[in-house]
Chains A and B, each alone.
Chain A
Amino acid sequence: TQLLEQSPQFLSIQEGENLTVYCNSSSVFSSLQWYRQEPGEGPVLLVTVVTGGEVKKLKRLTFQFGDARKDSSLHITAAQPGDTGLYLCAVLLTGGGNKLTFGTGTQLKVEL
């Protein structure tokens, strides 16, 4: 059983469309991170959310941390081909040292 379940697993959309991907768990976290990984590269940190209900915006990307700090969502407005990549949520487990536990990932493809 995965600690962090992401949905959908795959998403293929046209440029200009909006989309939302989800990261869900039954556990409570003190913070949660979102990464984007492009083919052949390492994950790049997009945002860290800390407070329940927190909303952070990064240009066309909007991140929300659930009120109970068990889940998070990433919404992309007017997707562009440059948004293509693997989106990963991740948490640092309490008492787990400094190791990140990653979600199952959402593979996004934005086509012209």
Chain B
Amino acid sequence: NAGVMQNPRHLVRRRGQEARLRCSPMKGHSHVYWYRQLPEEGLKFMVYLQKENIIDESGMPKERFSAEFPKEGPSILRIQQVVRGDSAAYFCASSPIPAREQYFGPGTRLTVT
């Protein structure tokens, strides 16, 4: 059973460009969570989604960031007009039910130049 998959693993964007990060949850998992890891801040929750629904986006910056988890296909975290401060590792996790045990992907390292 394949684990959580994220792509790309590394992404370089210039300031002002858009970044799209993709996450395919484990098979049978319909709950997806996105986290961001900054060296000075640690690992922080961003958003929790179920298929076609955003359940909790309390950790998402108010502007430029959006997330979706469509009926078909991977979950997408989209960052518009990236700035240097968006450089971080972005992790996706999934679970089969709303549960404390979440399984993490390998992450996408975003570098904004």
Query: A residues within 8 Å of B by Cβ?
Result: 31, 33, 35, 40-45, 48, 88, 92, 97-105
Contact = CB atoms under 8 A, between A and B. Distances in A.
B61 interface: no
Contacts of A43: 43, 91, 104
14 contacts: A31-B100, A40-B106, A42-B4, A44-B104, A88-B42, A97-B48, A98-B56, A99-B45, A99-B56, A99-B58, A100-B33, A102-B42, A102-B43, A105-B42
Contacts, number: 62
Interface of B: 4, 31, 33, 35, 42-45, 48, 55-56, 58-59, 91, 93, 95, 98-107, 109
A41 B107 contact: yes
Given A97-B48, A99-B56, A104 B107 contact: no
Nearest to A102: B43
B73 to A, nearest CB: 21
Nearest to A97: B56
A33 B100 contact: yes
Nearest to B31: A98
A42 B100 contact: no
A97 B102 contact: no
Nearest to B3: A42
Contact of B45 (A41, A88, A101): A101
A92 B56 contact: no
A45 B98 contact: no
A101 B43 CA distance: 8
B112 to A, nearest CB: 19
Contacts of B93: 42, 100
